[in-house]
Amino acid sequence: MSAAPAGGARGERILAAPPTAHDQDAYKAASTLVAKGVAVVTAVQGRWDHAATVTDLLSVSYDPPTMLVSLYELSRIADAIVSSGRFGVSLLRDDQRRVADWLGEPGTPLVGLLDHVPHVRREPGAPILIADALACFDLQVTAVHRAATHLLVVGEVRAMTQATVWGCDRSCAGSRRISADGSRASRVVARPRPRSDDARPAPVRRPVRPR
């Protein structure tokens, strides 16, 4: 095994203290190499629905089911989540790029924000969830941590919906939304959707009124 060059590993960059604008750009380029999903985070503040596209999201624990999302501290969505103590997360499909692009634009107006975005609401006052998403989560805020320019918001899952995965057996074809108390809140139905490139069709979910 050969030794590293005297100046450190090949391509190594030593960041200044504090980091320069070039250091920040280099970090951004390197950190975006991590494979990530795309999600929409939502919250209600007063009479307004807030929604924003995020990629910095992770599952923290299964017991209890807990997730964490990183949000710019001065953003409207961060303020709405901290104020309300509740937020929604919708994991987008690859064919929901328009939703991701629209809700990822800075300064999107609150008026009409979701007029052209198909969505559902579990109950009055709940954060909206994006229709036909791969999975949706309704979370209660349990902790908020400040990290540099961002807030790390930790939430415990209170209810969730998971799409039926293409290629699964019949046992998962009738998956249901399960609330934190174990009750069934709605049914998720998969139906093939034709695609021009002959790729496997994306599942379509149809929410059903709770029984």
Domain housing 119 = 37-162
Query: Which candidate, 48, 42, 28, 30, places its Cα nearest to that of 89?
Result: 42
**Nearest C-alpha neighbor of 94 from the set 143, 39, 172, 152:** 39
Q: How many structural domains is the chain composed of?
A: 1
Checking if the pLDDT of 197 tops 90, the result is no
pLDDT of residue 167: 42
Among 36, 46, 54, 66, smallest CA distance to 155 is for 66
Q: Please report whether residue 80 resides in a domain.
A: yes
- The answer to whether position 18 is within a domain reads no
Question: How do residues 46-60 score in pLDDT, each as one tens digit?
Answer: 999 999 999 999 999
Q: What's the pLDDT at 187? A: 35
* Mean of pLDDT values over 176-183: 41
Q: Work out the pLDDT band at 9, boundaries 50, 70, 90.
A: low
pLDDT at position 147 over 70: yes
Could you tell me which residue, 143 or 28, shows the higher pLDDT? 143
**pLDDT at residue 164, as a whole number:** 58
Rg of the chain in Å (alpha carbons): 20
Residue 172 lies in a domain: no
Q: Which two tokens stand for residue 195?
A: 């695609």
Residue 87 pLDDT level (bands cut at 50, 70, 90): very high
Task: Please indicate, yes or no, if residue 28 is contained in any of the structural domains.
Answer: no
Q: What whole-number distance in Å separates Cα of residue 117 and Cα of residue 105?
A: 14
Backbone angles phi, psi at 184, to 5 degrees: -90, 125
pLDDT-based confidence at 32, cuts 50/70/90? confident
What pLDDT sits at residue 181?
Answer: 42
* 17 part of a folded domain: no
Is residue 185 domain-resident?
Answer: no
* DSSP 8-state code for residue 199: P
Report the CATH number at residue 65. Answer: 2.30.110.10
Q: What is the mean pLDDT of residues 150-156?
A: 97
In a domain, 45, yes or no: yes
Is position 143 within any domain? yes
Average pLDDT on 122-145 reads: 96
Q: What is the pLDDT of residue 199?
A: 38
pLDDT of the residue at 8:
53
